[in-house]
Chains A and B, each alone.
Chain A
Amino acid sequence: MSDVQNYSPSVKAADHAEDTVWEQKVHFIDSVPRWLAMTFVFVVFVGTWQIVTSLRLVSPIILPTPMETLKDMIFVGQNLLTGGYMLGALWITIKEVIYGFALAIAIGFSLGVLVGETAFGEKAVMPYLVAIDTMPKVAFAPLFVAWLGFGIESKVALAAFIATFPIVVGTAAGLHAADENARMLFKTMGASRMQTLIKMKLPTGLPQIFTGLKIGAVGVMAGAITGEFLGGGKGFGELIRVAASQLNTPRVFSLILYLSLVGLVVFASVVWTQRRLVFWHKEQVGSGEF
C-alpha cells in the first residue's frame, strides 16, 4: 500500500505540502441575477429622465415627465381594456401585422426555396431579389397606397414587402447549410430530390430560416406603422400621428409602448416556435435570444 502511495504524486502533495487553495476571482456582474441588472438600468434610465424634466432642461412639450407618461399609459390601458376606440385601432394594426407576416412567410419561403434549391432561381431570380432588397422599401409606400387604397390592404402589402426579403435570404442560406457529407449520404441512400429537400436540407437549415423569420418579424411591425403614417387609415399608427400633430407627447410615448408589446408578442411567438422545432440547435448568445 505504501508502495502505491510512493507512485502517486498527488497523494504525496496532499500529505506534505501546504494546500494550494486560492480564491478564483468572480466578476461582480456574474454574481448579479439578470432581473436585478435589468431593473438597475431601468431605474437609471427613468431617474435620468425625471431629473432632466424636473430641472426643465427640456421643454415639457417635447419631453413629458415619467409620471405624465405613466398616467397616460394608464388612461390608454383603460381605453384598451374597456373596448374603447383605441382597441379598435390596435386591432386594425394587429390584423395588418398578422396578415403581412403570413404573406411574407408564404412568399419569402417559396422564393427562398426557388432561389436556394434550383439553379435557375439562383442564377436568374436571385440578382433581381438582391437589387430590390437594396432599395429603400419604405419608398414604395405611396405606390402601394395608389394601387391598393387607404384601407388595410396597402399597409399589409408594405409590411409583407419589408418582411419578405430576410425570409428569402434566411431560407436560401438555410438550404445551403447542409454539408457535403450529408448530401453524399442522401445520394448513396438513393434519395429523390424532394426527399433530400424535405428530410435533410430544410431541417438542417431551420436555424437560418428562423433567423430570417425573426428579422422579418421586426420588419413587419415597422412596415405596418410606416404604411399607416403615409397612407392614413384607422390603425394605431394613425393615433400616434394625430397625437404627435397635437403635441400630445405623453400620448405618443404610451401608444408606442403599447405598440412595442404587440411587436414583442410577434417576435416571441417566432422564438417559441423555433424552440419547439429546432430543439436540437443550441443558439449562440447574441442572436436574438432573450
Chain B
Amino acid sequence: MSAAVAQDYAGAPLGTPVYELTHVSKTYARNLVVALEDIDLTLRKGSFTSVIGSSGCGKSTLLKIMAGLIPPTKGRVILQGQPVTGPRRDIGMMFQQATLFPWKTAVENIVLPIEIRDGKAAAKQAMGKAHELLDIVGLKGFENVYPNELSGGMAQRASICRMLITEPAVLLMDEPFSALDELSRDMMNMELQRICREQDATAFLVTHSIQEAVILSDEIVVLKPRPGRIAEIVDVDLPRPRTLNMMTTPKFGAIVDYIRSLLDKGEEM
C-alpha cells in the first residue's frame, strides 16, 4: 500500500467509497458449505454500516474476510484502492471481549499495535497519542491502571483506543458490547457514535441486536442464511446525532419491525 494512496483517502470528502466488496463468495472446501454468496458491499467514508442476521448467516466469515484474516473464494476485496490480502494497519478491529493483556497497563495495551508493527521505540512515541485517545473515551486518569481494575465497559473503551491508535481507515467491530449489561451497552453505543463522528470514522459493525443496529447505523445489511446472501440493505434515515430517546419513536419502531420481518423471511427459507 503506497503512502500516497492512503493520503488521498484520508483527505477524501465524506461519502467517498473506502471499502468495496464485489461478488465476494466464500466456500469452505472441507465440508462444502457455502458461507457467503455474491456479496456486494460499499462502505463510504464517515458512514456507519451494520450487518445483522441469524447465526450461521456468514457474518463472522464476512468480517474475517474484510479483516484480511481469511481469503475469499471468489470476488474482489478493495480497501482504499488496494486489494486486501492479509491483515493491514489501516484496518482496526474490536471483539466481543476487550482482550486487554493483564500484564500491561491501559496505555501499554493501547500502543500494542504500534509496538508489534514498528517496535518499542515507536510505541513509546505513540504514548502521547494514547493519552489523548483515553481522554476522548473518558478514561483520563486511568492510563497506568492494569486491566484487572477496569470494569467491563471501561475495558471496552480502552480497546476502542487500541483500535484507533493506528488511525485505521475502517473500523471492524464484532459484537463489541454484547458482553456488557444493557445499561452499559446503551451508553457505550452512544459513546461509539460520538467517537465515530469526531473521527469521521468509517465503521462496520456485526451485531445480533436490531435495536443496536438501528440506533447506530446509516445502513443495515440484512443477511439471510444458507448460503449467506444479502437480503436487503436498509437505509436508516433517523437524524444525527442519535439519542437513546429515539428508540421510543414510531419511526424507530417501524424500522425495527421492518428488519425483523426481513430476518423472519430469511428463516423460513
Contact = CB atoms under 8 A, between A and B. Distances in A.
Interface of A: 179, 181-182, 184-191, 195, 199-200, 203-204, 278-282
B103 A203 contact: yes
Given A181-B95, A187-B69, A188-B67, A280 B102 contact: yes
Instruction: Kindly list the 4 A-B residue pairs having the minimum CB-CB distance in the complex, ordered from nearest.
Output: A280-B102, A181-B99, A189-B116, A190-B87
B87 A181 contact: no
Contacts of B148: 280, 282
Nearest to B89: A190
B116 A182 contact: no
Nearest to A204: B101
Nearest to A183: B99
A interface SS class: helix
A190 B88 contact: yes
Given A189-B113, A200-B101, A203-B103, A184 B95 contact: yes
B147 to A, nearest CB: 8
24 contacts: A179-B97, A181-B96, A181-B97, A182-B99, A184-B93, A185-B99, A186-B116, A187-B87, A188-B68, A188-B87, A188-B91, A189-B87, A190-B87, A190-B88, A190-B116, A199-B112, A200-B101, A203-B101, A204-B101, A280-B102, A280-B146, A280-B148, A281-B102, A282-B148
B69 A190 contact: no
B104 to A, nearest CB: 9
Interface string B84-114: 0011110101011101011100000000110
A195 B99 contact: no
B117 interface: yes
Contacts of B103: 203, 278-280
Nearest to B102: A280
A183 to B, nearest CB: 10
B93 A185 contact: yes
Contacts of B115: 199
Nearest to A191: B116
Interface residues of B, number: 23
Contacts of B102: 280-281
Interface string B66-88: 01110000000000000000111
A190 B101 contact: no
A185 B86 contact: no
A281 to B, nearest CB: 7
Contacts of A278: 103
B145 to A, nearest CB: 12
Nearest to B117: A190
Interface string B8-30: 00000000000000000000000
Contacts of B146: 280
Contacts of A195: 116
Nearest to B162: A185
Given A181-B97, A280-B146, A281-B102, A189 B117 contact: yes
A189 B101 CA distance: 14
A2 to B, nearest CB: 31
Interface string B39-75: 0000000000000000000000000000111000000
B88 to A, nearest CB: 7
A188 B99 contact: no
A190 B101 CA distance: 17
Given A182-B99, A195-B116, 10 more contacts: A181-B97, A181-B99, A185-B95, A187-B69, A187-B87, A188-B87, A189-B116, A190-B116, A191-B116, A199-B116
Contacts of A181: 95-97, 99
Contacts of A204: 101
B101 A184 contact: no
A216 B89 CA distance: 43
Contacts of A199: 112, 115-116
Nearest to A185: B99
B164 to A, nearest CB: 14
A282 B146 CA distance: 13
Contacts of B112: 189, 199
Nearest to B69: A187
Contacts of A279: 103
A141 B151 CA distance: 54
A18 B249 CA distance: 47
Contacts of B69: 184, 187-188
Contacts of B97: 179, 181
Nearest to A277: B103
Nearest to B99: A181
Contacts of B89: 190
A279 B67 CA distance: 34
A64 to B, nearest CB: 50
B105 to A, nearest CB: 10
